[in-house]
Amino acid sequence: MNYGPLVFLAAFFALASSWCGFVLTPQLQIGRLQQTNTVGGAGIAYPIARPGLAHQGLDVYRANGCAYCHSQQVGQTGTVLDIALTDAGTNQATTVAALLKLAESATNQPSALTMLPSFQPGSSNAITESILGGLPKAFFRSTTREAANAAAKALNSTSAKVQLWVVPVGPDITRGWGGRRTVAEDYLFDTPVMPGSQRVGPDLANVGTRLPDANWHLLHLYAPRLEVKASTMPPYRFLFEKRKIGRRPSPGALSLSGNLAPGPGYEIVPRPEAKALTAYLISLHADAPLFDAPISVLAPAGAPASTNAPAVPGAASTNAPPTNAPAK
């Protein structure tokens, strides 16, 4: 390496390879993603572009650097299959017997099949009661597809009807931050995409599902500790305006009391930025069942009880490594 051009070529080659790897290929693979359809049940288009106000809220989120404390990526460590009873059948006694038998095998082989808290193996009366308590209900959880199929077969041999539910698991999911891991499709219509790198505050990928109340968000932005005890979030009072009450109080004014109250004759009103940010936060849902991120969503009540087929076609990919398949 004693020639300038040689050093230049070395650097050129190295950078070009990395550019092809992490700029060109991602653009070809995920930069050209199109809207896809959710799987299982409805099959509606996903994702939907955010409504106008929420779209403006994304700008407020960007300008104030919310992403430095809040990630928008949910992770999962794997998926499991829940064995759910949708219909106890005409002969409940045999169903209960089959369930008890499964409970026995679950205690013998806890690695493959575990009982969910909703299932109390005790007397058959208790089980009958819990069945009567409302179906569909998941009773067992299995980590392998074989165990799930065997259990489903055992129950199907009675008159009962069974579904297998795909359930992602992991600390983020248990914490209630989302139903499944986030995938590239979830960010399709956002510019800029801000997945975040830190969790000083909770993950916001599904905050709209978790906290759908606009007033909650407005109060939380104005005085975080009002809504979350000992919150470390700074207040964002510059998104609000203190103004004199006119003929009658504004409909959007915050209801504040104690030392936060703005004083007699005054009210605290959210500025357009606060409303937009709130609309954006409420629009955050990344929980639709997708081909490469399956999750079972319960059919709406009144829908015909489904067959023995797994609830989600994508369930076939359970426990398989995350696919690289771009959306169709």
Residue 123 or residue 197: which is nearer to another protein going by CB?
A: 197
Residue 153 or residue 237: which is nearer to another protein going by CB?
A: 237
Residue 64 or residue 149: which is nearer to another protein going by CB?
A: 64
**Of 66, 75, 68, 71, nearest in space to 217 by CA:** 66
**Least Cβ distance, residue 196 to another protein (angstroms):** 8
What is the SS3 assignment for 83?
strand
**Least Cβ distance, residue 273 to another protein (angstroms):** 9
Q: Which residue carries 């499964």 as its tokens?
A: 102
How far is residue 156 from each of residues 3, 93, 149, measured CA to CA in Å?
A: 75, 14, 10
What is the SS3 assignment for 268?
strand
Distance CA 211, CA 219 (A): 12
**Least Cβ distance, residue 169 to another protein (angstroms):** 10
Cβ–Cβ < 8 Å for 80, 180: no
Q: Is the dihedral of CA 225, 226, 228, 233 positive or negative?
A: negative
Distance CA 121, CA 103 (A): 7
**Least Cβ distance, residue 309 to another protein (angstroms):** 28
Residue 252 or residue 326: which is nearer to another protein going by CB?
A: 326
Residue 66 or residue 127: which is nearer to another protein going by CB?
A: 66
Distance CA 103, CA 126 (A): 13
Q: Residues with Cβ < 8 Å from 70, sequence gap 6 or more?
A: 196, 199, 200, 201, 202, 203, 204
**Least Cβ distance, residue 156 to another protein (angstroms):** 33
Residue 232 or residue 308: which is nearer to another protein going by CB?
A: 232
Residue 29 or residue 90: which is nearer to another protein going by CB?
A: 29
**Of 260, 252, 317, 248, nearest in space to 278 by CA:** 252
What is the SS3 assignment for 132?
helix
Residue 8 or residue 313: which is nearer to another protein going by CB?
A: 8
Residue 287: Cβ within 10 Å count: 19
The conformation of residue 162, written as its DSSP 8-state character, comes to: E
**Least Cβ distance, residue 267 to another protein (angstroms):** 18
Distance CA 224, CA 99 (A): 48
**Of 70, 51, 61, nearest in space to 273 by CA:** 61
**Least Cβ distance, residue 192 to another protein (angstroms):** 4
**Least Cβ distance, residue 81 to another protein (angstroms):** 20
